[in-house]
Structure 1
Amino acid sequence: MKIRSAFATLILALLTFACQPAEDTKKSEGSTQEQNQALAQKVYERFNAHDWAGMANLYSESAEFKDPSLGPDAVTQTRPQIIAKYQELAGMFPDVRDDIVAMYPSADQHVVVEFVSSGTSPDGTSWKLPICTIFTIENGLITRDFTYYDNSKTD
């Protein structure tokens, strides 16, 4: 009987400790998701400050972009190319800004951001454009920025 009791205690102890790493993994994923959301938030803060170099530094040395303004396929852009792209955008729309509607973390490498971009066209017309971006984040940097919108629907 003592052997059964000792065996049952051993099994119970093993089960208790075996479940512990799963809890640590959940905490780790939660903090990774929080870090990813914080990184995505910084993108929009720097975008709205028109800090293009600061924003580009949130991306890997070369990141993959999918954006209707770049054509139908994904393209790789370096940080200097990212800076140039957004400098050109700000040249056309000096008051361009993005307002986040919602963020949706997905697993440990993705954040989906729903936002509204707005600005004033050179002719003085104000516009708003709903946009959705899927960020892929690896090692604390954005490696993919896949953006979707329909610019025929601007207000």
Structure 2
Amino acid sequence: MSEIGYVRGDATAPQGRGVKLIAHVCNDLGGWGKGFVLALSHRWPEPEAAYRRWHRERAANDFGLGAAQFVQATPYVWVANMVGQRGMRTGSKGVPVRYEAIDAALGKVADRAVELGATVHMPRIGCGLAGGKWSRIEPLIEERLVKRGISVTVYDHD
């Protein structure tokens, strides 16, 4: 069984050959303006535009906690917008991260990665603005992706 690879660098510039799927966590409010999404938008307009459209048309689609949207940014790079946080700020109900939603979305990412024959790349999802703990997220990645033989690289930004 492979394991998660950790590298220093930018998850929007995934390393390696072949098709790459960049996974990251979004909120359930349609907000896109802080954290890793800014780096994504700086590189490609499509993931943000698709996410905003997906949220706007949510009455007619699967948008919600645990959903994942796949957006092709280049011929070899896809972005997975995973809805894994409720709201945007820490409040009386705790931090915005929702581990069950990230777990469900990672399952969809695994299916798509297998279809595409892709490797998966990500920052430490759910651990920035969402307030999650990597010690809770890492096992979800191992269970959903690594156990299926999918190569995963996690990027720690300098």
Establish whether TM, by shorter chain, passes 0.5. Answer: no
**What is the TM-score of this pair, normalised by structure 2?**
0.30
Larger Rg: 1
**Greater relative contact order (Cα 8 A, min sep 6): structure 1 or 2?**
2
**What is the TM-score of this pair, normalised by structure 1?**
0.30
Q: Is the helix fraction higher in 1 or 2? A: 1
Q: Is the strand fraction higher in 1 or 2? A: 1
